[in-house]
Amino acid sequence: KTETTAAATEAATTAAEAAATETTEAASSEAETEAAGGTLVMVTNAEFPPYVYHDGGEIVGIDVEICDAIAAKLGKTMEIEDVAFDSLIPEVVSGKADIGAGGITVTEDRKKNVDFSDVYTTASQVIIVKDGSDIAGPDDLKGKAIGVQLGTTGDLYASDYEKDGSTVERYGKGFEAVQALLQGKIDAVVIDEEPAKVFVTENEGISILDEDYAYVVKKGNTELVDQVNKALNELKESGELQSIIDKYISAE
């Protein structure tokens, strides 16, 4: 009986110790999650469909779904902050947000202030400019004369710039917009990537601006960049990344 009691006491002690250890581990794991930030704060400007936009009371789009999938792979929940586009990088630089998203083009200028993830997609709409143009990317289209083919996605894309003082010249055919660019009547043409390649091949003196999209992270935060890249790579390999993009952009 004494032995049985001793064994029972030992078993109870072992059980208590195990429970205590488990509680400590759980608490420490919870503390680690909190320390790592149980949330991934994504800052965006929800005015760039189909990448990020308002649908009813929700913010949806390609970048929302991809970043949500990245957060899940990091064991975090995603929180979205909607700000003006020119506040995206300052929010990441100040540490208010972990990741900046929303059709952000990789540029050398931006690389001075933030680190970029791997490129996850290239814009389906591209900008054609004359060689030597001072337009280096979409941000430089403000206040410029932009040529588009009437009724195309490029037309929709460029119309957003009209609010910023740009002039949009609409043409019946894409090559008419390109001719106007060559004649100096307009500053740039916004058009689908495939016809753009043809126009640039057939006409000297014009070129396509690369528009690779990536996510921005605070400069020097290599740990988060590595985690995001690892998650992006897994999403690419599994085909999930492409299926998110195809859901919003028809794979024509």
* pLDDT value at residue 96: 96
Of 154 and 227, which is predicted with more confidence?
Answer: 227
pLDDT in tens, 170-201: 999 999 999 999 999 999 999 988 889 999 99
Specify the range with the lowest mean pLDDT, choosing from 63-72, 103-112, 224-233. Answer: 103-112
DSSP classification of residue 102: S
Contacts of 235 (CB under 8 A, 6+ apart): 66, 69, 70, 73, 241, 244
Tell me how far apart the alpha carbons of residues 76 and 28 are, in angstroms, rounded to a whole number: 16
**Would you say residue 38 has pLDDT above 80?**
yes
Instruction: Count CB-CB contacts under 10 A for residue 147.
Output: 26
Maximum CA pair distance of the chain?
A: 104
* Mean pLDDT, the chain, whole residue set: 86
Classify 179 as helix, strand or coil: helix
* pLDDT value at residue 24: 44
**Would you say residue 91 has pLDDT above 60?**
yes
Tell me how far apart the alpha carbons of residues 44 and 26 are, in angstroms, rounded to a whole number: 34
> How large a percentage of the chain has pLDDT more than 70?
84
Q: How are strands ordered across the β-sheet holding 216-218?
A: 77-82, 39-44, 99-100, 216-218, 114-116
Specify the range with the lowest mean pLDDT, choosing from 30-34, 163-167, 214-218. Answer: 30-34
Contacts of 232 (CB under 8 A, 6+ apart): 66, 70, 117, 118, 120, 241
Q: What's the mean pLDDT in 13-25?
A: 50
C-beta separation of 169 from 185 below 8 A:
yes
pLDDT in tens, 107-158: 888 999 999 999 999 887 899 999 999 998 888 999 999 999 988 878 888 8
Task: Identify the bridge partners of residue 209 per DSSP, sorted by sequence position.
Answer: 127
Of 130 and 102, which is predicted with more confidence?
Answer: 130
Tell me how far apart the alpha carbons of residues 37 and 132 are, in angstroms, rounded to a whole number: 45
Cα distances (angstroms) measured from residue 151 to each of 147, 193, 232: 12, 16, 34
Specify the range with the lowest mean pLDDT, choosing from 4-13, 69-78, 201-210, 218-227. Answer: 4-13
**Would you say residue 35 has pLDDT above 70?**
no
Task: Identify the bridge partners of residue 145 per DSSP, sorted by sequence position.
Answer: 167
Tell me how far apart the alpha carbons of residues 197 and 150 are, in angstroms, rounded to a whole number: 19
Q: Which residue has the tokens 């609010």?
A: 163
* pLDDT value at residue 164: 83
